[in-house]
Structure 1
């Protein structure tokens, strides 16, 4: 039920001079509730009707009628429209209860396939907080796409190839100790990686050594390949622990190395199409002048491949494998030029489907206002953060509800949820300051606040021993009305989130819902036995449905008790 559409259609019955779309563009939402739910300014009609706007407003207000409109008032040049709270509420609650978890579903995807390239950490390095954004943003977008009727393929495009592995192998051979690394593989490999860059700053010849070892790896040299496989296996074991805690799953873990035997085919294809040029011994593709992009490097002068070569091979493989209608790359904004080049090369090569490839970029995760850097060792390990968040959540539960059942599971849900929500409540292009203390607050715009509101709603329903039943009449108070309007626009919020590939639209809306619900909670006695009891509990139930579904779309759990 779109209240704006009801108002526009009713106004158009009275205003013959304007189309519905023209009326819709003029509609306003009054700043104060006492001025109505919607407002129509009459200034644009003054020239047409050759009458002053206040007179036109009186004329329109006197004729405006609809089964859901309670009254229309002329206030100066405005027509203020008030809806029938109880009737609208009855309709909204019935709609939510009829659909339950399907409320807000949109069939705009028509079962088309969307592939999402997300998370994609580098092997042989710890899973840091810096990888969190791609993981949770991508997972949430996939959930929203599914709610909108798309099939999704989540791809963890592991960073398991490239010059950095030559550097790591060189560092391992120079300074690695087998016994130490066996005991604690990832932290020790990180130390070696950081040491390599520290030493290379003093002795630049180390960089050449790193490149040489990567060339050996590309050529299949036995020792290089054995070390690389070991690094990859240990890394995947570590990553899977994190993904399990986050509740994130993938349809594919094919990393960059998977495309090693597919890159020459891409290079040949580009050559056949006359796109490759020589440049100082390297192979490049010139970009069109209109793009202002630098040339795209396909092969280095030593014959080594690059990110671009692999990403082109991956795009072609995924199109052939999954027949996608859209391909989303959830990767930081520092890769913007790279993805513009990939898209431009595919378009020059005649692949029109490249128009449906989208770089879903996002800002940095900051620590003390600075970017986290693996190379300099300035990282915050995600697993440690999750464990700390769970422990703090457990302490909160012990303090507030020591008799709670499943305390450990609820602590996990709250701790992990706090981290996810702290990220997703921010518009993805904004950088986010990491703060565990802020994440875990039970008040304000936090995950625990939303989860606690859901648990509160479920507690009311349990105490009221309420079961789903028809809501025969609605409520008329202003607090429940504000909540009803927020629940009513939920399908439009989903639409907006998918249009912009932006989970923060849902996170912000559900904060508004929770704040409105808690304002109502402070004013209302839900369990009083009177003729409005079922109406109150029906609205509580409807609110719980919208909160739970929103949490699911964000990739979070909804604890029944906290």
Structure 2
């Protein structure tokens, strides 16, 4: 599918190629604000091939270039060729794309039906999800939707942290300090208390860590009591996690924790030894990676015989490759794990699994003002508390703005608006940056926020309801591009497929979020400056209603890609 905006860009480049007879890194740029043009082609790359200055080349091209139906004029400006769209043809093309595609407008065929596995969320069992778990969960969910929209077959896998040495800690603490009444009322809360208490006690008495290691060994060796408690911890945790996922409306195709791969690690070790990539070093079994520029070796097995998460992640990747046959695997995991994934991907290639695109989609931390969160120190903000507070604030807003709604309607709108505010506060940020947790920023209901975008959708839908279902039927009249506000909307709507492609290419959901905010601003400028239902002619009224319908469609679709819902009323 070639959308109108892309067709215009291709036409511009092809027109220059025909005249210049060279394609030395030709590219398109956005003209600076105030320049009366829609596209710019830098002529600097052509200077060497054409033996002329960029200014001379731009002037020559402006005189001789033949423009297609989507382009109206060409002008030289310094070393740039500035091009303007033919407004009528361009607007008719964009609005035709939107009308024809509907909720699929902006969809791509980049994936070609190929499978992509997305590893995201992955909280540790027996702990409450903190606000720090939000990033992987909602970034991963957004990437799932983006890949689906772009023609991939995504598989979402929640790789739970349900195995490892922390269970030795919990098993010891459970037997030493359990408050049974508290555990019966809030099992995850009591397990967290035990986890924090163990850390404090072990600082005073390091021998406790030896006892915890013994419990972990019993668990690994299949001790019935240890296994029974472990299963209980996992069951309680899954129930608590699901409550959060339901609020966030996040779904997974598979929830395969680390424990699922315990019986698959032996084969990984045997294969690594057989292929000669694993070597003994001071009793440990390691994979040296110096030859690929990684100085720190990957440890397959410690000197005491214990395996590490490196080995489990190798087993996990190989299982996914053999089971799902993906073209790429995305790991939506914090930036602090960068070295681990460099080691993992390099080892997979050494094992013969090099024909897959492995991507670490890293992200920064959510930090408290006093520093990094730490569950074992008890310095943490729980995600459930943040979600509850967001919905409570949104409920008060709904009561104020729409008291006539029924109680169930108020609850539903509050959920959509409150949860949307939390998601957008994160997804509108570049994922690689750290975020300092701020209640007011996280729960913002105005400004650059999800409620502002949701209100844009609600306002657009209100116009469409008043105009009637048939108000937008008929061809788009170019007369509806005559004001700056109208033309700004046409350009914004036309750019949506490009935004989807950019977000997909860089794994950057914030590109979509930032675009939607700009679209909302353009729409509100249009709403205040241009009469829609009171337009001077039927054709103008119809075409402006089509612009409003386009905004509603793209806003709903774009927010949906971010996992954010839209209410019909606010």
> Within 2, Cα distance between the matches of 1:7 and 1:276?
54
> Within 1, Cα distance between the matches of 2:9 and 2:305?
61
Give the one of 495, 502, 505 matched to 2:501. 495
The CA deviation at 1:441 is 3.1
Give the one of 534, 538, 542 matched to 1:528. 534
Please tell me whether the aligned partners of residues 109 and 145 of structure 1 are also in contact (alpha carbons under 8 angstroms).
yes
Q: Who is 1:547 aligned against?
A: 555
Q: Who is 1:177 aligned against?
A: 179
Residues 363/532 of structure 1: CA separation in 2 closer, same or farther (3 Å cut): same
- 1:558 equivalent to 2:566? Answer yes
Please tell me whether the aligned partners of residues 58 and 77 of structure 2 are also in contact (alpha carbons under 8 angstroms).
no
Give the one of 98, 101, 106 matched to 2:100. 98
Structural mapping, 1:136-147, within 5 Å? 136-147=138-149
Q: Who is 1:423 aligned against?
A: 426
Structural mapping, 1:434-445, within 5 Å? 434-445=437-448
Secondary structure of the structure 1 residue equivalent to 2:20: coil
Give the one of 412, 416, 435 matched to 1:432. 435
Please tell me whether the aligned partners of residues 369 and 433 of structure 1 are also in contact (alpha carbons under 8 angstroms).
no
Q: Who is 1:6 aligned against?
A: 11
- 1:35 equivalent to 2:36? Answer yes
Q: Who is 1:89 aligned against?
A: 91
Residues 105/201 of structure 1: CA separation in 2 closer, same or farther (3 Å cut): same
- 1:297 equivalent to 2:299? Answer yes
Q: Who is 2:117 aligned against?
A: 115
Q: Quick check: 66-75 or 328-337, which moved more?
A: 66-75
Give the one of 413, 427, 446 matched to 2:449. 446
Secondary structure of the structure 2 residue equivalent to 1:489: helix
The CA deviation at 1:4 is 2.7
Instruction: Render the CA deviation track for 1:331-386: whole Å, top value 9, x for unaligned.
Output: 11111111111112222222223x42211111101121622111111111111111
Residues 8/343 of structure 1: CA separation in 2 closer, same or farther (3 Å cut): closer
Structural mapping, 1:230-249, within 5 Å? 230-249=232-251
List runs of 5+ in structure 2 lacking aligned partners.
none
Structural mapping, 1:126-137, within 5 Å? 126-137=128-139
Q: Who is 1:201 aligned against?
A: 203
Q: Who is 1:471 aligned against?
A: 475
Q: Quick check: 381-390 or 3-12, which moved more?
A: 3-12
What's the TM-score, normalizing by structure 1?
Answer: 0.94
Secondary structure of the structure 2 residue equivalent to 1:328: strand
Please tell me whether the aligned partners of residues 54 and 80 of structure 2 are also in contact (alpha carbons under 8 angstroms).
no
> Within 1, Cα distance between the matches of 2:44 and 2:246?
58
Q: Who is 1:410 aligned against?
A: 413
> Within 2, Cα distance between the matches of 1:55 and 1:320?
54
The CA deviation at 1:404 is 3.5
> Within 2, Cα distance between the matches of 1:162 and 1:121?
13
Please tell me whether the aligned partners of residues 394 and 408 of structure 1 are also in contact (alpha carbons under 8 angstroms).
yes
> Within 2, Cα distance between the matches of 1:230 and 1:45?
68
Instruction: Render the CA deviation track for 1:381-428: whole Å, top value 9, x for unaligned.
Output: 111111110010011111122223511101100111111111111111
Q: When the two structures are aligned, how many residues end up with a matched partner? A: 557
Please tell me whether the aligned partners of residues 389 and 436 of structure 1 are also in contact (alpha carbons under 8 angstroms).
no
Residues 340/12 of structure 1: CA separation in 2 closer, same or farther (3 Å cut): closer
The CA deviation at 1:114 is 0.9
> Within 1, Cα distance between the matches of 2:452 and 2:249?
20
The CA deviation at 1:254 is 1.1
Please tell me whether the aligned partners of residues 473 and 535 of structure 1 are also in contact (alpha carbons under 8 angstroms).
yes
Residues 324/53 of structure 1: CA separation in 2 closer, same or farther (3 Å cut): closer
The CA deviation at 1:440 is 3.5
Please tell me whether the aligned partners of residues 420 and 565 of structure 2 are also in contact (alpha carbons under 8 angstroms).
yes
Please tell me whether the aligned partners of residues 42 and 78 of structure 1 are also in contact (alpha carbons under 8 angstroms).
yes
Instruction: Render the CA deviation track for 1:416-467: whole Å, top value 9, x for unaligned.
Output: 1111111111111111222231234343221111111111111111111143
Structural mapping, 1:276-425, within 5 Å? 276-353=278-355, 355-368=356-369, 370-404=371-405, 406-425=409-428
Q: Who is 1:217 aligned against?
A: 219
Residues 396/39 of structure 1: CA separation in 2 closer, same or farther (3 Å cut): same
Residues 291/62 of structure 1: CA separation in 2 closer, same or farther (3 Å cut): closer
Give the one of 461, 470, 483 matched to 2:464. 461
What's the TM-score, normalizing by structure 2?
Answer: 0.92
Instruction: Render the CA deviation track for 1:138-193: whole Å, top value 9, x for unaligned.
Output: 11101101111111111111101000110111111111122221111111110100
> Within 2, Cα distance between the matches of 1:232 and 1:521?
52
> Within 1, Cα distance between the matches of 2:311 and 2:45?
57
> Within 2, Cα distance between the matches of 1:270 and 1:49?
57
Secondary structure of the structure 2 residue equivalent to 1:345: helix
> Within 2, Cα distance between the matches of 1:23 and 1:161?
51
Q: Who is 2:510 aligned against?
A: 504
List runs of 5+ in structure 1 lacking aligned partners.
none
> Within 2, Cα distance between the matches of 1:524 and 1:369?
49
Secondary structure of the structure 2 residue equivalent to 1:121: coil
Please tell me whether the aligned partners of residues 417 and 447 of structure 1 are also in contact (alpha carbons under 8 angstroms).
yes
Residues 77/140 of structure 1: CA separation in 2 closer, same or farther (3 Å cut): closer
The CA deviation at 1:491 is 1.2
Residues 462/121 of structure 1: CA separation in 2 closer, same or farther (3 Å cut): same
Structural mapping, 1:132-171, within 5 Å? 132-171=134-173
